[in-house]
Amino acid sequence: MPGRAEGGAAGRGASRRAVALAFAIFTTLLPLPALAQNRPDVEKQFQRWIAGDLAPVAKKAGISEKTMKAAFQGITLNWDLPDLVPPGSEPPKQQDQSQAEFSSPGAYFSEKRLQGLAETGRGLASTYSATLKKIEAVYGVPGEIVVAIWGRESGFGKARMPYSAVQVLATKAFMSTRRDMFREELIAALKMIEQGDVDPATMKGSWAGALGQPQFMPSSYLKYAVDFDGDGRPDIWNSVPDALASIAHYLQKEGWQRGRDWGFEVTIPAKVSCAQEGPDLAKPISAWAATGITRISGKAFPAADLKADGMMLVPAGRNGPEFVVTPNFYVIKEYNNSDLYALFIGNLADRIASGAGPFQAPWGDVGKMLRSDVLAMQKALVAKGYDVGNVDGLPGYKTRRSLGDWQAKNGLAPTCFPDPSLKGKIR
């Protein structure tokens, strides 16, 4: 970490370390704004870190001195970013979970927002219909999926991205809770500049360092960005064809199955256990249908899907919409690792393509438990031999299905979602 005590006699080194330790202890007791008086010293450490720590790593990665000079000309730390850990302070401790830390999944699906995105998305899908057809022909990803992600990520390219990506990434690589990750992204951003894809002044992004209309991190840009308008370089900031094709290329490379939908809202009979969800419990959609699972719309499952794999998904357990999803659902999750994000994109895409509306089943009154209570349930289930995934107080699919399995084995009707009635029962 920058700011290490430098050489000298053992006694002087020990003394300096003692002073540094005392200062660190003192500063950790101060709120971040109180550290502002030390900002000039931290800025100096930042510049030393660029020259002494970052520059050698960048050189090994093929970054020239010319690029380094251009990228960091006038760059200072951005103190307004979240999750910063300045030298002399400690990472924030995990907050005491004294309040509900997750809300009902239904809160994610703002109908007003979805209607607005769908209306704009339909217009843009028409405007760029020829481009989207070419993109689907090349990458196999339907235009409505691409447009839905475009809308969700950057408001169809209209969202304000005011931050210097180099400044954001450098600040976070120097003093954030995930320094290693952001250092890798900073090196990737410097490679973009080195190969002439973008200049530092043009490389604008979000407060997290995500770039352009698709909101790619620099490493994703290097892997997936494509030049689809034929001007010789991928421009995800200003070229709509490049941005849309890059989104499709991302999904294709992550395994998108051409000709398949993302999934279907269904009705799961009470006799069918809800503790069967997850990508690792896939079975042919015909097998799900044989258990009595039907599409809530009343339509039949597409014939082409019957022999292909599908997976049960119950994001609110028995207290909300139920789904059979395809592997493409999990490809969307590669873009943003959230069941609700992928459902949002799927629903928005359906609205854009066919004028669909909200999911038909209502979201129940769930998600008001304390995260610490869910964490206690997870720990108790793990002690009984269940695999709940991440033991973090959040009810992912492994937690939901483990809970449903435990309920069934203990004479309770499986709900596959934590609720207050279960507090203290799982021990």
Instruction: Catalogue the active-site residues.
Output: 153
In this structure, the number of other CB atoms found within 10 A of the CB of residue 414 comes to: 20
Torsion, CA 306, CA 308, CA 312, CA 315, rounded to 10: -110
DSSP per position, 88-139:
T--PPPPPP--SB-S--GGGG--HHHHHHHHHHHHHHHHHTHHHHHHHHHHH
CA distance 290 to 278: 19
- E strand intervals along 230-308: 263-267, 283-284, 294-295
Sign of CA dihedral 121, 125, 127, 131: positive
In terms of Cα–Cα distance, which of 80, 88, 66 is closest to 22? 88
Task: Give the type of residue at 423.
Answer: K
CA distance 373 to 419: 9
In terms of Cα–Cα distance, which of 412, 409, 374 is closest to 394? 374
Q: φ, ψ for residue 388 (rounded to 5)? A: -105, 5
Task: Give the type of residue at 27.
Answer: T
